[in-house]
Structure 1
Amino acid sequence: MTTIGLDRLQASIQSNPLFQSMTEDEIAGIAEISEVAELSAGTVFIREGETDKALYLVERGNVEVVKAEPGSGNWLVLATLGAGTCIGETSILEGNVARTATVRTAEPSALIRIDPERMIGDRAFDSVRIKLLNHVAASLTGKLDATNNMTVAAMKNDLETNKARIAMGLFTVNLLFMLGIYTLALKSLNTLVINFGSNLISIAILALMSAVMFIMIKKSGYPMKTFGLTLEDWRGVLWRSFLMTLPLLAVIALLKGVVLYMHPEIDDQVFSIIPIIEGRKVDSTFYIYGLAYALFCPVQEFISRSGIQSSLQNFLPPTRSRTWIAIVLSNLMFSTAHSHLNLTFALLTFFPGLYWGWMYARQRSLLGASVSHVMVGVWIFFIVGIEGIWNALF
């Protein structure tokens, strides 16, 4: 312990909130039972479990409040306190109150040590002790309120975490169920495709998957908005989706032009809809298929985005790559569900899905991805047309 000027000691005590209600005479009395400790870094001056009554004010430097981790020998830093901080104010309470944590210096520090035991039995300190007790009681009340608020917040966080785990578990069970059934039935599906056509079988699979996803969403306990099922800012979503899709349509037309240039033997035009524009007769099934495709695009996006991608984005552990993991996995799973048609088609559904997954992650609305899917699908199959190229190359 060292001695410093009385004026400096009284000024340091007076500046602390614990003593600001004290008179000059009371501050002078406190200074008489105080001394300054100049401590090097790492010095322990309060030990957990001890019952000493010393009260400390940090005049200069920083100190750490630490607790020993059971069985490891390591120290867990609970808080770092700087100049002007009061430590151990509960020591002025009656009784042998044990220290609840260990406190050590984090760097060379100057501490003012006040000995409350020297106040006991001295009537000159009665008013000081009463003011300190009132202040400590108010401080403890505030800390109790803060602790309660932190406890409530922690409980809410735990509940939300458990809720997310339950939702992720439900999602995983449903997904494994669907993939298991699909894998077991794959051979039978190939036979059904031959007998009844791929369109009818694909519709049945989509209907089953969408029903399972809808049940999962309803049972998750989360609002529909969490899964992109919202009409908030729908005009803006539609407009942005339209603008974001136009470059993709241009690239698709350009790619078909390049393929036709490289394969002049393919009897086709860049825009297969030209015969319709020129007034040539077209089978009515052309329009029926176009309408059916446009209707089922939102169903496919509901399964991929609302069902799979949203669940992965919301319930996977938070990491920087979580969004892209969700996008890739959702499209990979959805492409797998097309393997009963053929592997090439299943792979081709994967790559445009990455674009719609990215769009959905930006907008968090199923509406935008669905509209873009309809635009691209109608553009590919009914305006640009890929049937001639598909039959020639595959």
Structure 2
Amino acid sequence: MSKGLLKKLVSKKGFKSLIADIEKIMQSPFCIKDEKGKVLIGNDPGNKSMHPVNFNSEIVGWVCGDEQLSGLANLLSFWMSLESEKTSLGKELLDRYREITFYFNITEQLAGNHGPKEAAKLLIAEAKRIIKAEDISILLIDKDDAELLATSTSESFSGEIFQACQVIVHNVLKNAKPEVINQLSGDHRCVQESMPVEALMCAPLTINNKILGVIMVSNDTGNGYTAGDLKMLMTVAYQAAAAIENAKLVAALKETIIDLQTKKEELTEAIKVRMEFSHLFISVVLMFSLYTFLLAIMDKIQVNEQSLYVTSRFLEISFVFANVWLVFRSGLPLNSFGITLLNTKKAIWESLLISAVLMSGLVIFKWYLLKKMPAFQGASIFTWNYVGWDYVTYIVVAPLQEFLTRGVLQGSIQRFLMGRFNWLWATILTSTLFGVFHVHESLMLGIAAIAGGMVWGSMYARHKNLIGVSLCHFLIGNWLGILGLWNMMIG
């Protein structure tokens, strides 16, 4: 730059007229030569005195002429210093303007909630405007793990640069200081076989005494980087570190908010389940108490079997209405109580299969009683004289009982209980209550109701569908009556 500055100075407008005026005053020819002796302006006087033109302790040219022209040589040296300072000042002002523009643009673009990768891409795009580079890459480095956050070229090209300059990158991270290498081919720290670029700047991404990674700027044009370029890179690195750290904090905050929202929903759901269970518990206790007292009163006044049947059905219907009110009051969807068509096909097929197995087993059991028990000798397997209207109405009674015991009671208990086997405990508790409500007929019927409840409860726990268990309940209940086993159990 210093050698070209003299040539640039003498080519300025008006400089020729200045030389001509000096030549008239001196009344003798003179010229200005470059450091190699080439005439830049004026007339070569021949073997005259040569006065050096100095700039930065270097001879950048000569003034050839009389002895008195040494002052002109000194003037040119001073003039070159002024031009150099003016050029440096202009460059510094331009750098300041570029830096301010960079701050303004990046602040505007990072105003939204961007993720780390998006923020890095925006920073690289702005950095390309102010730093001449073939590739700009931002890498996050944590111990031995390196992640290419963003690049202005391709991941493979940036990866080659990183692999070739790993030692330099590690030095930058270790010392927390940037480095500029304008001749990578002569740097022993680089892997020469895979060096895709010639000049490199590498700066750490530092914020709050923490190093997040590095930003690498490189080119293969032969143009080296200056201290001004490094200063601009440090500005970019600081902004990149702040933007990436803020993006990480925002991402972590979003995750925390989502986690809190999830926990809030879980807590709200848990409160809703507890409220549902508390209402159900009150309803069951009151219903059980009312049912027990009514049975005691009816036993005291010795009502007939038909009245007992009607009373039991009335209490069941009342209990249904009470639980329907609880269902709608809970705010939960109807499928939470088994009222759904989901899994209907599977539930029906399983119900028919289990019903067929149980009905076949009951027929075999009745045949065994006829063969082995004297009390059953002469009786037939099927007893049709017990079949009445209550068998037909059982198609309504069975689904109602399943809605109460499985849909409302078992489902609510399962939602309330915690643990892996909450469904099993819910099934056991519900089946036990189901048996208690039948024990007034006989102990044997109560035990049979518990066994049936375990089967139907397990079916409901798998499919969460009332259609299958209601069908099985209807078939098995009526089949017990047709085989005469129902009357045998109630004695």
Into which bin does the TM-score normalised by the smaller protein fall?
0.5 to 0.7
- TM-score, normalised to structure 2, is 0.53
Deviations 1:182-234 (A, max 9, x none): 33444113236624532112212211222222222111111111111112343
* Deviation of the 1:270 alpha carbon: 4.8
* Deviation of the 1:348 alpha carbon: 2.5
Which aligned pairs between 1:169-208 and structure 2 lie closer than 5 A? Answer: 169-191=278-300, 194-195=303-304, 197-208=307-318
Paired position in structure 2 for 1:91: 208
* Deviation of the 1:14 alpha carbon: 9.1
Change (3 A) 1:135 1:369: same
Paired position in structure 2 for 1:117: none
Quick check: 1:327–1:357 contact (8 Å CA) kept in 2?
Answer: yes
Which aligned pairs between 1:203-218 and structure 2 lie closer than 5 A? Answer: 203-218=313-328
Deviations 1:109-137 (A, max 9, x none): xxx999xxxxxxx9695443333222212
* Deviation of the 1:291 alpha carbon: 0.9
Quick check: 2:212–2:241 contact (8 Å CA) kept in 1?
Answer: no
The number of residues matched between the two structures is 294
Quick check: 1:331–1:350 contact (8 Å CA) kept in 2?
Answer: yes
Change (3 A) 1:153 1:344: same
Quick check: 1:193–1:201 contact (8 Å CA) kept in 2?
Answer: no
Task: Say which of 405, 409, 416 aligns to 1:308.
Answer: 409
Which aligned pairs between 1:253-264 and structure 2 lie closer than 5 A? Answer: 253-264=363-374
Deviations 1:219-260 (A, max 9, x none): 111111111111234344322211121111111111112222
- Identity of aligned pairs, percent? 21
Q: Are 2:287 and 1:144 aligned?
A: no
Q: Determine the C-alpha separation between the residues in 2 that align with 1:237 and 1:148.
A: 40
Unmatched tracts of structure 2, length 5 or more: 1-139, 152-157, 178-205, 214-229
Which aligned pairs between 1:218-367 and structure 2 lie closer than 5 A? Answer: 218-273=328-383, 286-317=387-418, 319-367=419-467
Quick check: 2:371–2:377 contact (8 Å CA) kept in 1?
Answer: no
Q: Which of structures 1 and 2 has the bigger CA Rg?
A: 2
Counterpart of 1:307, as a letter, is V
Change (3 A) 1:265 1:173: closer
Q: Are 2:188 and 1:32 aligned?
A: no
* Deviation of the 1:369 alpha carbon: 0.5
Paired position in structure 2 for 1:62: none
User: Secondary structure of 2:387's partner?
Assistant: helix
* Deviation of the 1:150 alpha carbon: 1.8
Paired position in structure 2 for 1:82: none
User: Secondary structure of 1:265's partner?
Assistant: helix
Change (3 A) 1:175 1:156: same
User: Secondary structure of 1:246's partner?
Assistant: helix
Q: Are 2:486 and 1:376 aligned?
A: no
Q: Determine the C-alpha separation between the residues in 2 that align with 1:364 and 1:387.
A: 28
* Deviation of the 1:320 alpha carbon: 2.0
Q: Determine the C-alpha separation between the residues in 1 that align with 2:335 and 2:449.
A: 26
Deviations 1:25-51 (A, max 9, x none): 8875443248xxxxxxxxxxxxxxxxx
Change (3 A) 1:389 1:257: farther
Unmatched tracts of structure 1, length 5 or more: 1-9, 35-88, 94-111, 115-121, 277-281
Change (3 A) 1:341 1:17: same
Which aligned pairs between 1:15-54 and structure 2 lie closer than 5 A? Answer: 16-17=146-147, 28-33=171-176
Between 319-328 and 290-299, report the one with greater CA deviation: 290-299
* Deviation of the 1:15 alpha carbon: 5.4
Q: Determine the C-alpha separation between the residues in 2 that align with 1:297 and 1:338.
A: 14
Deviations 1:136-193 (A, max 9, x none): 1222222222222222222222222222222122222212222232334441132366
Quick check: 1:328–1:354 contact (8 Å CA) kept in 2?
Answer: yes
Paired position in structure 2 for 1:60: none
Paired position in structure 1 for 2:272: 163
Q: Determine the C-alpha separation between the residues in 1 that align with 2:371 and 2:389.
A: 31
Q: Determine the C-alpha separation between the residues in 1 that align with 2:444 and 2:354.
A: 26
- TM-score, normalised to structure 1, is 0.65
Q: Determine the C-alpha separation between the residues in 1 that align with 2:322 and 2:259.
A: 39
Q: Determine the C-alpha separation between the residues in 1 that align with 2:360 and 2:409.
A: 29
Change (3 A) 1:322 1:227: same
Quick check: 2:387–2:481 contact (8 Å CA) kept in 1?
Answer: no
